Structure 1
Amino acid sequence: MNRTTELFKSEAYLQNNLRLFVNRATEDFNVPFHSHEFIEYCYVAQGKGYHHIENETFPVHKGMLYVIPVGISHVFRPSTPGPAGEPLIVYNCLFDNYMVDRLSPILLDDPVQEHLKSLCGGNERSSASSYFNAFDRDGSIESIMQRLYREMSVPSIGSATMLLSLVSQLAITVYRLKYGDADKRSADAADFTNVIQYIGEHLSEPITLSDLSHISRWSIRHLQRLFQRHSGQSFGSYLQNARIHKSCELLRGSSRKVSVIAELVGYRDIDSFNAVFKKIVGQSPSEYRSLQGG
């Protein structure tokens, strides 16, 4: 649906030295569908309604946070017209690239700085797809918004410094909500590589999830999830396959006895080794070695 879009200019809202504006608004049907020359963080503090962004409509309720980049069109609407229903109340925090520059000495993490700069526009990442929402699971965003609103409404000594600190807290908290899980998965993947390496280097020894939990400092349950995520197998299946894979290498590349190879990959009982090897490879160790020309 094509809508008429009004442009909200920075000079109408960002009139202080920080070029920052924070308000607590009761949404109605009078505010026009609009875009703006600044970044907007919108937090739903009360009620239910709808958030129209570009050509999409999202139902909203308390705890939802939206980040609207420069140039993206949107508007909030309450669920029902008139005063009958519960009002839809939204905290809005507005700032532009001037504030982003002011935050640079505070925000020491490059990903957060780059994220804020992308919201200002001027690069390929700033597009209609760059708006996003997050949910305030623990009330931390609401607390920051309330403190921003109070500091903005009743300024006192140190307010400029406090506001800069609160905006940086808002940006970091929201960034963590949006991207923290992905960052954690990346860190998990890097650390899980060390777990896999440990297994490969200790195949001749008994290895349990409890051992790996102690080494990695992850819980056994989390390790089980990581094995499933990164290998598609349970820990037991992964370990069994790793041992048989290593035994195949030794059968091909050495003349050691099968019983010795079984011990080198962690099997103290030759019958158990033979049974597992045949189950996975489809041949006995001796047949495998013979077919490999060993």
Structure 2
Amino acid sequence: MKSAIELFRSETFLNNNLKLFVNRCSENFDAPFHAHDFVEYCYVAEGKGFHHIGEDVIPVHKGMLFVIPIGIPHVFRPSSPNLSVTPLIIYNCLFNAELTSTLSTIIQEQAICDHLKQLELNQMPYVHVVDHTQQIEEIMIRLYKESSLLDTGSSTMLFTLVSQLVVMTYRQYQQDYKQKHSNTDDFEHVLRYLDHHIHERIRLRDLVRISSWSEKHLGRLFLKHTGQTFGSYLQYLRIQKSCELLKSSQHNVSLIAELVGYRDVDTFYAVFKRITGTTPHMYRKSYTSD
């Protein structure tokens, strides 16, 4: 998903002494694809949908948290246009370099301070973690309530809560990184196989043959390492590859659908629209227009 990228500036949101903004909002299809000159922590509180971030499209659900560095474009989209039935609710916590400097005097660990600095300088990709224990959700709720009250001592409370948010997210990020990179070589082989055979009909039993794992165990590994079922991961991989071809080639849409493994172009159109929020033709047009 790429269209004109709007820039959200600090002075629009961070116009208080704390240089901090916290809100709770229902996402829709009107918000623009945007970047900003502040760091943003986004927590999925309710519903399902998709997070378009950089070149990635990530299905989201309750408990997922994203940390968006300065300069990284993104936007959330709900899974359904019927917002009254399936709303996508996000908590946002925004702060800029001024608050980062303050946090660096509170947070004692140099590694976490360096992490904040990298976010501020756009020296690392976005961060994505899952709040398995609901501890991050609790911090987000308290942040939102405290920022709404602004009572005596609120500044101290908010600085403390933001510090907790940063530390808890960093801890989860490190744990996920270690788990992901421990004994994953064999599963990486499975992912490479999918990448190289995306044009073919691929079933889970085909992966049993190349991995010597059972279908049940493979299903667990897909959830563990990708956060998706095998079917969902394969579908999103096909659409990701089709986006690359739409940008880099002059192939017609029917051929691209075939190159990424779809034998029925109508199915390809339906899946592409559901995942990206637009049609293949409009997706390509947005790039050629840019």
- Is TM-score (shorter-chain normalized) higher than 0.5? yes
2:129 touches 2:176 (CA, 8 Å); kept in 1? no
For residues 254-278 of structure 1, give each alpha carbon's deviation from its aligned partner in whole angstroms, at most 9, with x where no partner exists: xxxxxxxxxxxxxxxxxxxxxxxxx
How do 1:82-231 and structure 2 match up within 5 A?
Answer: 82-121=82-121, 125-126=123-124, 130-180=125-175
- How far did residue 63 of structure 1 move? 0.2
Paired AA for residue 21 in structure 2: F
Paired residue secondary structure (1:4): coil
- Tell me how many residue pairs correspond in the alignment: 181
Deviation beyond 6 Å, 4+ runs, structure 1: none
Q: Which residue of 2 aligns with 1:50?
A: 50
For residues 101-149 of structure 1, give each alpha carbon's deviation from its aligned partner in whole angstroms, at most 9, with x where no partner exists: 0111210000000000100016xx33xxx10210001000000000000
Q: Per the alignment, do residues 179 and 2 of structure 1 end up closer, same or farther by CA in structure 2, a change over 3 Å counting?
A: same
CA distance in 2, matches of 1:169, 1:37: 22
- State TM-score, norm by structure 1: 0.59
CA distance in 2, matches of 1:2, 1:98: 31
CA distance in 2, matches of 1:35, 1:132: 15
CA distance in 1, matches of 2:65, 2:111: 20
CA distance in 2, matches of 1:109, 1:23: 28
- How far did residue 82 of structure 1 move? 3.1
For residues 141-182 of structure 1, give each alpha carbon's deviation from its aligned partner in whole angstroms, at most 9, with x where no partner exists: 000000000000011110000000000000000000001466
CA distance in 1, matches of 2:61, 2:93: 18
Q: Which residue of 1 aligns with 2:30?
A: 30
Q: Which residue of 2 aligns with 1:10?
A: 10
CA distance in 2, matches of 1:178, 1:98: 24
Is there any run of 5+ residues in structure 2 with no aligned partner, and where? 181-290
Whether 2:95 is the aligned partner of 1:71: answer: no
Q: Which residue of 2 aligns with 1:41?
A: 41
CA distance in 1, matches of 2:179, 2:57: 31
Indicate the percent of aligned positions where both proteins have the same amino acid.
51
Which structure exhibits the higher relative contact order, with contacts defined as CA atoms closer than 8 Å and separated by 6 or more residues? 2
Q: Which residue of 1 aligns with 2:60?
A: 60
Q: Per the alignment, do residues 14 and 177 of structure 1 end up closer, same or farther by CA in structure 2, a change over 3 Å counting?
A: same
- State TM-score, norm by structure 2: 0.60
CA distance in 2, matches of 1:93, 1:102: 16
- How far did residue 184 of structure 1 move? 9.6
CA distance in 2, matches of 1:181, 1:63: 15
Q: Which residue of 1 aligns with 2:206?
A: none
Paired AA for residue 111 in structure 2: P
2:20 touches 2:95 (CA, 8 Å); kept in 1? yes
- How far did residue 84 of structure 1 move? 4.6
CA distance in 2, matches of 1:102, 1:161: 11
Structure with bigger gyration radius: 1
For residues 60-105 of structure 1, give each alpha carbon's deviation from its aligned partner in whole angstroms, at most 9, with x where no partner exists: 0000000000000000010011335321000000001111101112
CA-based RMSD of the aligned residues comes to: 1.9
